[in-house]
Amino acid sequence: MDASSPELMPLSGVTVLDFSSLVPGPLATLLLAAAGAAVTKVENPAGGDALRARPGSFGLLNAGKAAIAADLKSPDQVARLEPLLRSCDVLVEQFRPGVMDRLGLGYDAVRAVNPRVIYCSITGYGQSGPRRGRAGHDLNYLGHSGALELVRHDGVPGSALPPALLADVGAGSYPAVINILLALLKRERTGHGCHLDIAIANNIFPFIFWALAEAGSDPLAPGAGRLAGGSPRYQTFRTSDGRTALVAPLEQKFWNAFCEVIGLDEQLRDDAGDPQATIAAVAAIIESRPSSYWSAVFEEADCCCSIAATVEEAMTDPAFRARGLFTAASGLPHPGPAALPLPLDRSLARTLTDPAPDLLPAPPDGTASGRESLTSCPLL
């Protein structure tokens, strides 16, 4: 039997009922599906997951899942979910605290029919606390943690806008998966399920551990920290053709090699005295040459420096292609990769290149046609 077949995957036989939408929950359940779990999305009949409006993103995050439509405000339709609630190993939901309780689908209600269930609630601010009911997005969670105010603004008012959904993915999806797997392991030993409280804003802090460690000694003004722009050893610089050079020679041996290949003045190589003067000198040197020149120089020097790639360049990068990260899309309603590269070892995951047949884009009129209705779902 093929080692990547679902029967041999780590989560083979694990069933997941997914009430989440958009990014944090769906990416978490995608990881579970890639590890062999059988995931069923439960969507609102009036349009379904809001991410369906962006078919490319929806397809990447929901490959390999099945879907049913259920109006959770209808007691009759909620009652029809009971067979799934009784049999699922994991339930993932992403509503504000209290919503699932009002729908009759809260942890206590589900546990009453399925004591072994691992019930994972993903929210912005957690099931308790003064912000528990507050709305938010990735940017808000990053802001509350203090992470955004560590970034240099380059003269533009306000914090720098992060280029990735760091909170949703790094502080939402990944902690959800980690906790679900740990809870499954604990259940094997105890026989009991549990309620997991994943608060995205709480989970930002491990990403800025260095700032937390330094907070008691120096003020952490934007751009002032060693890893946030205060040191020439961790900086971005513009090249003569407008590309971005990424300079990160933190260790002394890399810094020595970097200074040598760019020809930095000897008096400025000891950057402890006047780091801003060293930064200015390095900026002038880097800006004097195009990115192609620096790319070759940095490759030869091996000093933790490189040129920032565009997303398009990254998707065609031979180094990533050699690792099997990107393959051309086939039969999907978007021009991107056929599957989202996931942080799972190949021996533990199967490739999910296509959404399940019933995961079709929601029709323009917002009805449930094009997807299985709750009453016709073969799982009920």
Active site amino acids? 168
Token pair for 217: 């000694």
In this structure, are residues 306 and 294 in contact, taking their beta carbons and an 8 Å threshold?
no
**Other residues' Cβ atoms within 10 Å of the Cβ of residue 206:** 11
Q: Which helix (H) or strand (E) holds 18?
A: strand 15-18
Secondary structure (3-state) at 116: coil
Separation of alpha carbons 286 and 267, rounded Å = 18
**Other residues' Cβ atoms within 10 Å of the Cβ of residue 97:** 18
In this structure, are residues 347 and 357 in contact, taking their beta carbons and an 8 Å threshold?
no
DSSP-derived letter for residue 337 is B
* Closest by Cα among 204, 205, 212, 207 to 24: 204
> HSE (CB half, 13 Å, CA atoms) of 205?
8
| Three-point CA angle 315, 36, 201, nearest 5° | 65
* Residue 138 CB partners (closer than 8 Å, separation 6+): 162, 165, 166, 167, 168
DSSP-derived letter for residue 162 is P
Separation of alpha carbons 242 and 65, rounded Å = 43
Q: Which helix (H) or strand (E) holds 322?
A: helix 318-322
Token pair for 176: 């959800």
Token pair for 33: 């599906």
Separation of alpha carbons 7 and 320, rounded Å = 28
In this structure, are residues 356 and 342 in contact, taking their beta carbons and an 8 Å threshold?
no
Cα pseudo-dihedral 89, 119, 93, 346, rounded to 10: -50
Q: Which helix (H) or strand (E) holds 261?
A: helix 252-262
Largest CA distance in the chain: 78
